[in-house]
Structure 1
Amino acid sequence: MAAPSELHWFKSSYSGGSGTECVECAYTGDDTLIRDSKVTGGPVVRLRLDTWRGFTHAIAHDALR
């Protein structure tokens, strides 16, 4: 895996404008990395890309209630 600073990190288009509640994601082949945008050197959560897609699909379709 590339070092976290070498990855293309991006924020959700739904992130608030205040910058206090954002997560960032980066894709690495078969994985999605997730981190707190305010603590870029902190912990990173790694999910398989298919797991991440299932999660975001469930959110988009309100299936997590």
Structure 2
Amino acid sequence: MTKEFIEAGKKRLSRDTTQDANRQEINALKRKSEDLKDLVAEVSLDLHRLKKTSAPSVDEGAANA
């Protein structure tokens, strides 16, 4: 019975270690996801600003035509 108890304890520790690793991986992926979302937002804003500054306005296009 003591051996069974020790084996059960080992299995439990093994599961806890796996869960901790998974939890750490999940937290790291969440941080990376947030970083990527921020990056996409920044690039989208930069692209929007670039389009606004490089595209001629409607009035300028009519005057040049």
**TM bucket normalised to smaller:** under 0.3
Normalised to the residue count of structure 2, the TM-score between the two structures is 0.25
The two structures have a TM-score, normalised by structure 1, of 0.25
Using CA pairs below 8 Å that are at least 6 residues apart, which structure has the higher relative contact order?
1
Q: Greater Rg, structure 1 or structure 2?
A: 2
Q: Which has the higher strand share?
A: 1
